[in-house]
Amino acid sequence: MRTLDDLLAEGVAGRRVLVRADLNVPLDSGTITDDGRIRASLPTLRRLTEAGARVVVTAHLGRPKGAPDPKFSLRPVATRLGELLGSNVTLASDVVGDSAKSTVDGLGDGDVALLENIRFDPRETSKDDGERGAFARELAALVGDGGAFVSDGFGVVHRKQASVYDVATLLPAHAGGLVLAELEVLRRLAGTPDRPYVVALGGSKVSDKLAVIESLLPKVDRLLVGGGMCFTFLAAEGLGIGDSLLEADMIDTCKRLLAESGDKIMLPADVVIADDFSADANTQSVLVAEIREQWKGLDIGPITADRYGAVLAEAGTVFWNGPMGVFELAPFAEGTRALARSIVDSDAYSVVGGGDSAAAVRVLNLPEDGFSHISTGGGASLEFLEGKPLPGIEVLERS
């Protein structure tokens, strides 16, 4: 696999370099609420600009329906990226149209341009190889002869999309620093991690995490379950869960997992319940056998947080993916905060598996340097640990 170091050794001064970054940040009325992914992209971009490259960045934001949509514009991202880089970042008003071409043509050595949301073009995510290929050729044409491609958006390498996969077949392709760092961490987890190896999984649905649960259970020493998906496990144990989230069609699967690996799986002993899904709801911490009818479980309780913390204190390696509760609402944030704090306080090699978990670290003002690694790609991390091929990595390995 060719790397950014290899590209820089060739020399990039005056050359156009297409960089696929992951700048898919959360917005609230146009304001970025967590710029972690933008900051994670900076080292690769800085190395290129300092070497004199003319950098063309592609990225997506949200899930537009294959057409321009102002609420998914990358304009706030371009502004923030420019602030962090300390230089202007020009945003093209389209993806491969006249604005993109003129914006790229206007780049000088060390300049950065950002194309508008790559998913405004439906060919980016097309299942048709020909459509994606045609779009990739237009992207490659923007950097022209002598151009190169750097894949640095780890959060999208599990997608076979034009700006991730197909472009890498057309231009000299290189793995960026962020992608290399993520792979190094995940290979450590998948190899021979220090033990005890503890995985904490949250999130809403068992079905979303089933493949990774089944893949990890033979390898881990303990699996700590939280989030909405814990209630399907509790239902599988025959407990009443009130109006909590339930995947009824996954109950038998949870029964099987508990029968096969119940010695490894830890479920909550208590939960925080509420009479409404809101920040001002009536709340109560109860044992899992005492969940009230028509009340919803929205966080793990303090007893569970202590028990999980005791396991984490003895861990050699920790992988955490998914919040323990609805951390965005203050009454239901303490379980996630306690779990994260226990990881920070441990001596374990700790990896936060991207997505909502990474967002929670920053939203709850936890020290980012208290974790060994905070991934930028939740879905990509999980698919790697499931043993699935990652198209965006396979194409780099073949290039």
Q: Is 61 annotated as a binding residue?
A: yes
Q: Is 60 annotated as a binding residue?
A: yes
Q: Is 261 annotated as a binding residue?
A: no
Q: Is 354 annotated as a binding residue?
A: yes
* 294, amino acid identity: Q
Distance between CA atoms of residues 164 and 396, nearest Å: 10
Q: Is 24 annotated as a binding residue?
A: yes
Q: Which of 176, 203, 325, 355 is catalytic?
A: 355
Q: Is 8 annotated as a binding residue?
A: no
Q: Is 373 annotated as a binding residue?
A: no
Q: Is 101 annotated as a binding residue?
A: no
271 pairs with which residues across the strands? 286, 300
**Which tokens belong to 359?**
């967002």
Q: Which of 2, 46, 101, 205 is catalytic?
A: 205
Active site residue 205: yes
Q: Is 282 annotated as a binding residue?
A: no
**Which tokens belong to 67?**
């057409």
Q: Is 65 annotated as a binding residue?
A: no
Q: Determine the longest span between alpha carbons in the chain, in angstroms.
A: 68
Q: Is 37 annotated as a binding residue?
A: yes
Q: Is 62 annotated as a binding residue?
A: yes
Q: Which of 82, 101, 379, 388 is catalytic?
A: 379
CA distances from 232 to 91, 165, 225, 379 (A): 46, 37, 11, 22
**Which tokens belong to 380?**
């990509």
E-only strand ranges, 236-391: 265-266, 270-274, 283-287, 296-300, 317-321, 349-352, 373-374
**Which tokens belong to 213?**
């649960």
Active site residue 355: yes
Q: Which of 15, 20, 37, 337 is catalytic?
A: 37
Q: Please state whether beta strands 16-20 and 222-225 pair in parallel, antiparallel, or not at all (unpaired).
A: unpaired
Distance between CA atoms of residues 268 and 231, nearest Å: 9
Positive/negative CA dihedral, 118, 123, 128, 129: negative
**Which tokens belong to 243?**
């109006």
Q: Answer whether 223's CB lies under 8 Å from 231's CB.
A: no
Active site residue 379: yes
Active site residue 337: no
Residue carrying structure tokens 């290039």 = 399
Q: Is 209 annotated as a binding residue?
A: yes
Q: Is 264 annotated as a binding residue?
A: no
Q: Is 328 annotated as a binding residue?
A: yes
Which positions are annotated as active-site residues? 37, 205, 355, 379
Annotated binding-site members for substrate: 22-24, 37, 60-63, 119, 159
Residue list for the binding site = 22-24, 37, 60-63, 119, 159, 209, 297, 328, 354-357
Q: What residues are designated binding site for ATP?
A: 209, 297, 328, 354-357
